[in-house]
Structure 1
Amino acid sequence: MGADIQTPNFPSAEAGASFPTPPNQQKPDPFPAIVKNDPARTGFDPRTAWWVNYFRILTGKITPEGAFHYRESRYKAHEARDCATCESYRDHAFAHSPTVRFLREKVESLNGKLDKDNVVCRRCPARLTEDGQVHRQSGGFSPGHGILICANEVRDRGHLEDTLAHEMVHAWDHLRWKVDWVGDKDLKHAACTEIRASMLSGECRWTRESFTRGNWTLTQQFQDCVRKRAVQSVLARPRCKDDVQAVKVVNQVWDSCFSDTRPFDEVYR
C-alpha cells in the first residue's frame, strides 16, 4: 500500500444493481468456457421434480456434474428466501457485530458510506468450467457500487459477518489508498488488500478453519489460511498469468501487508 491520497466518495448502489468491473477496466474472461447441463450426459433433468432428481443423486444416477447443476437449480428456486435471510443477517451484523460496526465507522471517517442501500444480498451463480473447476464466491466489492453478499452461499450469521468484514476492509483500503483492483499497474495492490482482508475479517481464525474446513493444523494455520486465500484471489485477477505469479506477488508483499492491521490496532479475531 502506498501513501495517503485524497479519498473519493463511496456511492450507493441502485436497488438491484450488479457489480461489474468499471468500464475502463473491462478485461477478457480469464476462465475456460462454462459447461452447461446436458441431461443425456449428466442425468439431471431440470424439467423433472426436484425430489426425483434428488433421489437420482442418492442412487448414483446423476453424475457429479449433474449434481452441480441440480444444486444451482435449487439455489435459483430458493433465491427469495435466501436473500431475505441474508438481509436479516446483514442488518443484525450492522446493529450488533463489534467488527462490522467498527469498520463502518472507519469507512465513514474517510467520507464513505456503507448501509443497506449499497450492501446488497443477491444470488451468485457458480461456474463450472471445462477444466473441471467450480468457481464460487461469497461476496465482492466494487468501488462504484458497494458490497455484494452472495445470499446462496451464506451458511449462518457468523459466515456473513466474516464475509461482510472482508469486503469492508476492501472498502476501507479503497478509500485510504486508491487500490489498483484489476492489476493494470501492479498486482501487488490486489495481493496486499487480499492479505489484509483475510487477516482482519476473522475468516481465517482457528475455529473457522478447523470446524468448517477441516484444517486442524495449529502451527502456522492462520498464516497459511491468509496466504492461501490471497493467492486464490490474485490468481482470479485478469492480469495474473498463473499460480506461479500469484504466489510470487503475494510473497513480495507478505511481510509488510501481513503486519499492517489498520484500521485495527491489532488482529482481534
Structure 2
Amino acid sequence: MAGVPDKRRPGPAAGEQLQQQHVACQVFPELLAEGRPQQGFFSSFFTSNHKCQLMLLKTLETNPYVKLLLDAMKHSGCAVNKERHFSCEDCNGNVSGGFDASSSQIVLCQNNIRNQAHMNRVITHELIHAFDHCRAHVDWFTNVRHLACSEIRAANLSGDCSLINEILRLHFGLKQHHQTCVRDRAVLSILAVRNITKESAQKAVDDVFDSCFNDHEPFGRIPHSKTDARYAHRDFQNRDRYYSNI
C-alpha cells in the first residue's frame, strides 16, 4: 500500500466492514451520508486540494498503467468514477494514500504527494488494491496473508520497484533485486496498517510470495515502464475484443 488513510474519523464497525467485503454487488456502494465529505474540483484555486485534483485528472487521462486498470475494473463490473471513488485529503504522518475497503474509495494525501510522478505511482498502487477488491473476496481486516498478497502485487506491478525509484532510495543490487524490493515494500506496507511484528509480516509475505508475485493480472506481465504498460493495455483491449467475439 502506498499509504493508509489516517484515523481521523471513526469507521464502520469491524463486523460491518467484513460483511461488505463479501457482497459482490457492493464493491462500489454509494457513500453513506456520514461518509467522507467530497472536495469540489473548483472549490479553491491554488490550494493543495486544487493541485491534487489537477494531478489526479492528469493521471486518469494520460497514465498507461492507470488507463489499463480503469478498463480492467470496468470490464470486471466495477467502473470507477472520479468524483465518487477518489478523495484528496490531508493525512497524518508521511502517508501518501490508501485504499479504504469499507467505502471502496482511494484516499490521496494531498499534503504528502510531491509531484505528478508520485501521484501516478500512488494511484496505480491503490487501483491494484481496488482491482483485487473487485475480483476476489479479500479479507483485508483479519487475514494478513490476503493483505500480503495484494501488497506484493501492488509493489510488483505499480512501478514502486522500478530501477529509477530504487536508485533514488539509494538501494542498489543486481541479482533478483526486483524481487527483493517487492518483498521489502510489501512488508513495510503491512506494518503501516497492521499492529504486528516485522517477523509476522515477513512470514505472511513469504507464505504467499511465489503465487502472488507471478499473478500479473490485469497487465499480463510486469510493466517495467510506461512503454510496457502501453503494450499491456493494447493486449488487454485485444484480448477483451477476442473474448467478446467468441
- TM-score of the pair, normalised by structure 2: 0.72
Offset of residue 87 of structure 1: 1.0
Structure 1 residue 209 corresponds to structure 2 residue 166: yes
Offset of residue 219 of structure 1: 3.1
Equivalent of residue 48 in structure 2, options 82, 92, 95:
82
Match of 1:246 in 2: 201
Offset of residue 241 of structure 1: 2.9
Q: Is the 8 A contact 2:104 2:130 kept in 1?
A: no
The whole-number CA distance in structure 2 between the counterparts of 1:114 and 1:90 is 13
The whole-number CA distance in structure 1 between the counterparts of 2:104 and 2:116 is 23
Q: Which whole-Å deviations, capped at 9, do the CAs of 1:141-176 have from their partners, x for residues lacking one?
A: 113241011111112111111110100000110111
Match of 1:107 in 2: 73
Question: What code does the residue aligned with 2:155 have?
Answer: S
Match of 1:96 in 2: 62
* Secondary structure of 2:205 counterpart: helix
The count of corresponding residues between Structure 1 and Structure 2 is: 193
Question: What code does the residue aligned with 1:141 have?
Answer: F
Residues 103 and 16 (structure 1), Cα distance of their counterparts in 2 relative to 1, 3 Å cut:
farther
Residues 228 and 80 (structure 1), Cα distance of their counterparts in 2 relative to 1, 3 Å cut:
farther
* Secondary structure of 1:120 counterpart: strand
Match of 1:124 in 2: 91
Match of 1:197 in 2: 154
Q: Which whole-Å deviations, capped at 9, do the CAs of 1:201-248 have from their partners, x for residues lacking one?
A: 11111111112x12233333321221111112222344x531111111
The whole-number CA distance in structure 1 between the counterparts of 2:62 and 2:156 is 21
* Secondary structure of 1:124 counterpart: coil
Question: What code does the residue aligned with 2:174 have?
Answer: L
The whole-number CA distance in structure 2 between the counterparts of 1:223 and 1:8 is 35
What is the CA RMSD across the aligned residues, in angstroms? 2.4
Structure 1 residue 8 corresponds to structure 2 residue 35: no
Match of 2:183 in 1: 227
Structure exhibiting the larger radius of gyration computed from Cα positions: 1
Question: What code does the residue aligned with 2:158 have?
Answer: S
The whole-number CA distance in structure 2 between the counterparts of 1:15 and 1:154 is 28
Question: What code does the residue aligned with 1:119 have?
Answer: F
Q: Is the 8 A contact 2:61 2:67 kept in 1?
A: yes
Residues 161 and 193 (structure 1), Cα distance of their counterparts in 2 relative to 1, 3 Å cut:
same
1:10-159 matches, within 5 Å, as 10-13=28-31, 17-18=35-36, 81-117=47-83, 118-126=85-93, 136-143=94-101, 144-159=103-118
The whole-number CA distance in structure 1 between the counterparts of 2:166 and 2:138 is 28
The whole-number CA distance in structure 2 between the counterparts of 1:14 and 1:147 is 16
* Secondary structure of 2:24 counterpart: coil
The whole-number CA distance in structure 2 between the counterparts of 1:228 and 1:15 is 38
